[in-house]
Amino acid sequence: MPGPYSEDLRVRLIEAVKAGASARAAGRTFLVAASTAVTWVKAWRQSGRTAAKPMGGGSSPLERHASWLLAQVANEPSLTLEALQRRLDEQLGVSAAISSLWRFFERHGISFKKNRARGRAGTRRRRGGAQPMDHAAVLV
């Protein structure tokens, strides 16, 4: 995702609007989309803000329940994400997707791996196996 436009460009566009140009005309002058220019001018008129809003996501809503989630896994290491999802809903009334839980634990350095005791899947075998051939029946 590209970064925000420079503060200098925003200020020059707003100065042009202060001097009497419309937001759309100032946008054309500074090669900015009309909708972007209108948004900048609106934000400036409402709050005096010329800087871009911070980029990037906030924190996960699951972080509010971090101690509970981490305690669940510490007390019961074999707990699956599906079971944890159910408990979270039943006990705290919080709905969360499995992928959200996965990312939460990944951020906290906890991974859910397959049990090594199960080993790898073997080759598929036929139920009865190959029957031995009766050589006497083949001979004519």
Residues 68, 105, single domain; the answer is: yes
Nearest by Cα to 60 from 91, 31, 96, 20: 96
Residues 68, 41, single domain; the answer is: no
In a domain, 84, yes or no: yes
Q: What is the pTM of this model?
A: 0.46
Please give the residue range of the domain that contains residue 77.
61-110
In a domain, 140, yes or no: no
Q: What is the DSSP track for 55-119?
A: PS----GGGGGHHHHHHHHHH-TT--HHHHHHHIIIII-----HHHHHHHHHHTT------GGG-
In a domain, 123, yes or no: no
In a domain, 139, yes or no: no
Instruction: Give pLDDT, residue 55.
Output: 83
Instruction: Give pLDDT, residue 140.
Output: 46
Those residues of the chain that have pLDDT short of 70 are: 1, 113-140
Instruction: Give pLDDT, residue 25.
Output: 97
Instruction: Give pLDDT, residue 119.
Output: 53
Instruction: Give pLDDT, residue 3.
Output: 85
In a domain, 74, yes or no: yes
Residues 104, 79, single domain; the answer is: yes
In a domain, 136, yes or no: no
Residues 37, 13, single domain; the answer is: yes
Instruction: Give pLDDT, residue 19.
Output: 97
Residues 66, 43, single domain; the answer is: no
Structural domain total, the chain = 2
In a domain, 54, yes or no: no
